[in-house]
Structure 1
């Protein structure tokens, strides 16, 4: 144990210092200047604060589901977010530079950077307790780069609006994390540190509530029609929350609520409606999406955990597949259907070739996002398991003691 602690001391701080030095060096060598032309700063900053609270505080506590991994869940989440935001700004600057354009760091670019790190946070949930800090930092850098590449492909070749390319963050983060988790060894059957306790579940629900409250801000901050996006997101979240309690009682053996169901399903509506939040003209559509999202989350949890995960030897620690992945797929399909129906009504179904063109490009964008996430996630998983990155032994999974000091170790732990 002590030797392994020294090895992390010789790697994590120096890796973080190296990355921060490179970011500072890029700034000294001509990083785009800070923009002061963002006209609606006073109205946009409160929403930006909501998104930051959601990503750092909400997701940080949302991941505190394991009984002996609370320090790491919140601490590593904060480290990855603040490091990832800087890397995201730099990645966007690099892409703009390659296009031969001049970029300025303003509220919009900073907002996109914070939102992009949500993909990293979601992926972290799939390998929660398995990856060490060095692996998580490398994963953050690689995933953000590939997510920006995926966004560029969707925006440049498939003509997807910039707002929608950013909303692919749930889809990309979930399936990147699943592919990544498949490359980590399974914990031994007798290891019980990957279970929760009432206290850890309570903290996780606290994070879930914060994510739920701030989700309308996340879905609307880049939207053109912000009021419509907020309204539709809130209605979808409300219906999914009500459905979560109903379905949890109906599907449990003793008719009681299960906290695991509530944590996952109350957020499903916000994921499913994220793609079409600003384009839904009738609130009942958003409410139906929230209901369906909650249904596939709870039913998917049963099917995926009992059938798919054992067959693929995949352990999705925080259930990101049925919390974010499946609702995102539902939202993607709903977006294509709504877009085709809306365009068909406008053209009176006379231009079927145009409708097919629209559907083809929308479906292509979603398939490209999932494919890129799965392929790059598998590649990243192989990279993270090389000896240089000091993979944690399976007996040390889900344990804070491997990374944090515990002066009170002998009392109450």
Structure 2
């Protein structure tokens, strides 16, 4: 194991340095001086998205008692690398396809939002991948997600704000497909267990996400006020429902932190697709209720029935936290569109098929490319860590208080 550690020490820093050097060179050729025009995105709105990705997801994933350093540290590493990568891909699309060049603040905001997909995928493989694999997965997923968005925008005419909300769907199913190629952890592994203190830290991340989620859903929306309004009510109802369902489904009638940790965000994920066009808050509230129900009931069904059959280990439960609410939200947007345009649009059937096609395309691309990425990451070249070393910080981080090494 010590030899593998030396290999990581010799490869990871040089890989990061190489990528950063490539980024700097490409930035020199693709980006000019900052625009003087007024940005359509305010700096406080950008801060909210940045807080979500760094603070929110960073703490959200710190629930394993022997993987806290890696959860927060690697989240920061792949985020700062991924934002630069996303900006470069967007710049290449502008250069090669002649797309409209956006202001700098809007570009970096969209890059940070894109990183949400990567962070969600990381939750599915958390503790099972080494830094080299995480960095490679980040670069591949960002490229593929941009391709998926480009197809949806250009060929299916999906609005930019809607295609960006696909980060939840794409991230969840890409991560699940990658995770399916990794060995399952040892049964009843104590490293995968949590502690009350770490559950509290993880809940702190959930609270960060909960507070800033209205900004995330509204930052690209055409009707920002509606998006903020409806997102808040959907989040509020999903939080209330999480407490109710947690007590009703527990054998002893007590609240379970794992339920609260995931289900309170379900309403925000689901309403992101249609929040800007929902006219009445009670619709958003019902959506938040359904999302919370799907999350908690889905956690039982998936963890006990589907995942063991498919041999998928979802470390952070991203499928029922982000995937299923994302499916509900996208289908809800289609239903609301049909109800609103039933008697006025002669091309209603065609438009509905376009929306469903974009939804299916996003999930299909995520599953196929995630499966291929998982196969690549398990090549001997990337030195997949053994199952016995899953969920272990000591493999990557220095612990001065430990007298013995690994």
TM-score with structure 2 setting the length: 0.97
Task: Confirm or deny that 1:364 pairs with 2:357.
Answer: yes
**Residues 392 and 101 of structure 1: is their aligned pair in 2 closer, same or farther, counting only changes over 3 Å?**
same
Where does residue 27 of structure 2 map in the other structure?
27
Task: Confirm or deny that 1:171 pairs with 2:164.
Answer: no
Q: CA deviation at 1:101?
A: 4.5
**Residues 329 and 64 of structure 1: is their aligned pair in 2 closer, same or farther, counting only changes over 3 Å?**
same
Q: CA deviation at 1:319?
A: 0.1
Where does residue 100 of structure 1 map in the other structure?
98
Deviation digits for residues 54-83 of structure 1, max 9, x if unmatched? 110000000001110000000000011111
Where does residue 115 of structure 2 map in the other structure?
117
Output the CA distance in 1 between the equivalents of 2:290 and 2:98: 44
Where does residue 37 of structure 2 map in the other structure?
37
1:254 to 252, 255, 262: 252
2:375 to 379, 382, 400: 382
Output the CA distance in 1 between the equivalents of 2:339 and 2:251: 41
Q: CA deviation at 1:145?
A: 0.2
Quick check: 2:148–2:362 contact (8 Å CA) kept in 1?
yes
Q: CA deviation at 1:102?
A: 6.3
Quick check: 2:235–2:264 contact (8 Å CA) kept in 1?
yes
Output the CA distance in 1 between the equivalents of 2:99 and 2:321: 38
Output the CA distance in 2 between the equivalents of 1:294 and 1:186: 28
Over the residues paired in the alignment, what is the CA RMSD in angstroms? 1.3
Output the CA distance in 2 between the equivalents of 1:124 and 1:286: 29
Alignment length (residue pairs): 404
Output the CA distance in 2 between the equivalents of 1:58 and 1:329: 22
Q: CA deviation at 1:288?
A: 0.4
What are the residue-to-residue correspondences of 1:4-403 with 2, within 5 Å? Answer: 4-40=4-40, 44-101=42-99, 103=101, 106-189=104-187, 191-345=189-343, 347=344, 351=345, 353-403=346-396
Quick check: 2:30–2:91 contact (8 Å CA) kept in 1?
no
Where does residue 3 of structure 1 map in the other structure?
3
Output the CA distance in 2 between the equivalents of 1:28 and 1:107: 18
Give unpaired runs (5+ residues) of structure 1.
none
1:10 match: secondary structure? helix
Q: CA deviation at 1:39?
A: 4.2
Output the CA distance in 1 between the equivalents of 2:180 and 2:62: 22
Output the CA distance in 2 between the equivalents of 1:102 and 1:161: 15
2:334 match: secondary structure? helix
Deviation digits for residues 356-411 of structure 1, max 9, x if unmatched? 01110000000000000000000000010111111111100000000000012369
TM-score with structure 1 setting the length: 0.96
